[in-house]
Amino acid sequence: MTFRHYLLQLLRDVRSQKLRTFLTLFGIVWGTAAVTLMLAFGQGLHGKLIASIKGLGENIVIAWPSRTSKAWDGLGRGRRIRVTDEDLEKVRREVPLITRLSGEYSAWNLRFRVGRKVFIPGMSGTNAEFGVMRNLNPTTGGRFVDDADVSHRRRVVFLGDKLKSDLFGVDEAVGSEVVINGVPFVVIGVLAEKDQDSSYNNRDNDRANLPASTFKAMYNRAYVDNFVFQVAERDDAVAAKKEVIASLARTHRFDPEDTEAVGMWDTNENLEFMDTFMLGFRLFLGIVGTLTLVVGGIGVSNIMHVVVEERTKEIGLKMALGAKRRFVVGQILFETLALTAIGGVLGLGIAWTVCASFPAAAIEYVGSPVISAQVATITTGVLGLIGFLAGFFPARTAASLDPVEALRL
């Protein structure tokens, strides 16, 4: 069979030209490992950044009632807009795009005491939905503020993991007591450690959450400091923001076009920016890796040119014996692709080993590199194309040999 003949020829070449084969393979191995690792690290970093952004919450918008910047309906500008829970319930009824909503009452000056330890962390009063929106997931054995806590104004508190360590050390906190400004509260849950790259108050790990009703009653608040809402799909956020402002504008009589009356931070904008940025970054990594592979490919192509030159006589003889050009082209292409494939497999193996043994300490900073199906497909595609091109030109040279000239050598 032709294939067997090609294969035997390849094995003979490899055996008789060990150093050359090694050098050729090295270029491809290195290039493949470079492409794969670049793509894998790009993907890992992207994943890590997305997780961080999502640490704040997915598809959420954070809104701060502020002051009007335009006159409207006979009312002057600079008027303070104060939002109550009732206003927010109206918003919830009027804007069906919203899937979750919670007001947030904040304080920065309350003393948390456990035994002799005292800390003054940031804290918020919210409803149960807040925990889901902001990914405030408890460690096992705990929970976030729930609806019953809110309706019964329970004196319970949910602690960020850092705050918990500060107050309790390694001891179990759930069920224990924290005294907040002289009033005892029961800890109901501790935040499970999470990535979070942005915040508007402080990192969640150093904060505490109370039921909104308890907070309002104890600290005498009527108006939310800010509120947070969530939509089902990323694309819903823009429309939802408009409708929320429109609802509040009707309630509080301000211009719905007034962009300052209620400030909004759409966290999706971060994601969008990050996606664009990461696409560029990963493209850059991919191109750098591919160029490395191209250099390897040029090496293979050179070697194959040398092979063709060395084999001129052999190729001429085969043509004289009736080998068609297909056969000659096939042989050179086969050798090139086989070498590329061997190098590629070795390179992928190296990349895989690097990814698998990537130290956990580093994962915290750059994410864990993943050789996903996407990465593997891209690498294989690039590799195949380079192998083909590297073989194509030498093969064409071989096929256009004049058998008479070749035999004269």
Looking at the Cβ atoms of 321 and 360, the one nearer to other proteins is: 321
- At closest approach, how far in Å is the CB of 40 from other proteins? 41
- At closest approach, how far in Å is the CB of 393 from other proteins? 19
Binding mask 141-180 for other proteins (x = CB under 8 A): ----------------------------------------
Instruction: Please identify, among the stretches 111-119, 135-143, 287-295, 401-409, the one whose residues bind other proteins according to the rule CB under 8 A.
Output: 401-409
Looking at the Cβ atoms of 321 and 373, the one nearer to other proteins is: 321
Q: Does 314 bind other proteins (CB under 8 A)?
A: yes
Looking at the Cβ atoms of 14 and 224, the one nearer to other proteins is: 14
Bridge partners, 162 (sequence order):
none
Pair type for strands 156-159 and 183-190? parallel
Q: Does 320 bind other proteins (CB under 8 A)?
A: yes
Distances (CA, A) of 86 to 222, 251, 262, 265, 365: 10, 10, 16, 22, 43
Q: Does 318 bind other proteins (CB under 8 A)?
A: yes
Q: Does 1 bind other proteins (CB under 8 A)?
A: yes
- At closest approach, how far in Å is the CB of 335 from other proteins? 14
User: In what helix (H) or strand (E) does residue 94 lie, and over which residues does it extend?
Assistant: helix 85-94
Q: Which of 323, 329, 332, 370 binds other proteins (CB under 8 A)?
A: 323
* Interface positions, 12-41, toward other proteins (CB under 8 A): 12, 16
Q: Does 93 bind other proteins (CB under 8 A)?
A: no
Q: Does 321 bind other proteins (CB under 8 A)?
A: yes
Asked if 180 contacts 110 with a C-beta cutoff of 8 angstroms, the reply is yes
Q: Residue 185: name the closest of 165, 159, 220 by CA.
A: 159
Instruction: Please identify, among the stretches 46-54, 196-204, 322-330, 358-366, the one whose residues bind other proteins according to the rule CB under 8 A.
Output: 322-330
* Interface positions, 324-353, toward other proteins (CB under 8 A): 324-327
Q: Which of 75, 298, 354, 407 binds other proteins (CB under 8 A)?
A: 407
Instruction: Please identify, among the stretches 77-85, 283-291, 312-320, 372-380, the one whose residues bind other proteins according to the rule CB under 8 A.
Output: 312-320
Q: Does 3 bind other proteins (CB under 8 A)?
A: no
Q: Residue 208: name the closest of 299, 293, 119 by CA.
A: 119
Looking at the Cβ atoms of 18 and 324, the one nearer to other proteins is: 324
Q: Does 111 bind other proteins (CB under 8 A)?
A: no
Looking at the Cβ atoms of 8 and 366, the one nearer to other proteins is: 8
Distance, in Å, from the CA atom of 315 to the CA atom of 330, rounded to the nearest integer, reads: 12
- At closest approach, how far in Å is the CB of 7 from other proteins? 13
Q: Does 219 bind other proteins (CB under 8 A)?
A: no
- Listing DSSP states for 122-191 in one string gives EEEEE-HHHHHHTT-PBPTT-----HHHHHTT--EEEE-HHHHHHHHTTS--TT-EEEETTEEEEEEEEB
Q: Which of 5, 80, 111, 234 binds other proteins (CB under 8 A)?
A: 5
Query: Which backbone phi and psi does 337 adopt, to 5 degrees?
Result: -65, -35
Asked if 81 contacts 225 with a C-beta cutoff of 8 angstroms, the reply is no
**Radius of gyration for the alpha carbons in the chain, expressed in angstroms and rounded:** 33
Distance, in Å, from the CA atom of 112 to the CA atom of 123, rounded to the nearest integer, reads: 10
Looking at the Cβ atoms of 106 and 312, the one nearer to other proteins is: 312
Q: Residue 390: name the closest of 311, 300, 306 by CA.
A: 300
Pair type for strands 60-65 and 226-231? antiparallel
Q: How big is the site for other proteins, counted in residues (CB under 8 A)?
A: 22
3-class secondary structure, 109: coil
Q: In b/e form, how buried is each residue of 55-89, taking b as 16+ CB within 10 angstroms?
A: bbbbbbbbbbbeebeeebeeeeeebebebbbebbe
Looking at the Cβ atoms of 16 and 109, the one nearer to other proteins is: 16
* Interface positions, 269-288, toward other proteins (CB under 8 A): none
- At closest approach, how far in Å is the CB of 325 from other proteins? 6
The angle formed by the CA atoms of residues 134, 140 and 144, to the nearest 5 degrees, is: 35
- At closest approach, how far in Å is the CB of 300 from other proteins? 21
Interface residues toward other proteins, by CB under 8 A: 1-2, 4-5, 12, 16, 313-314, 317-327, 403-404, 407
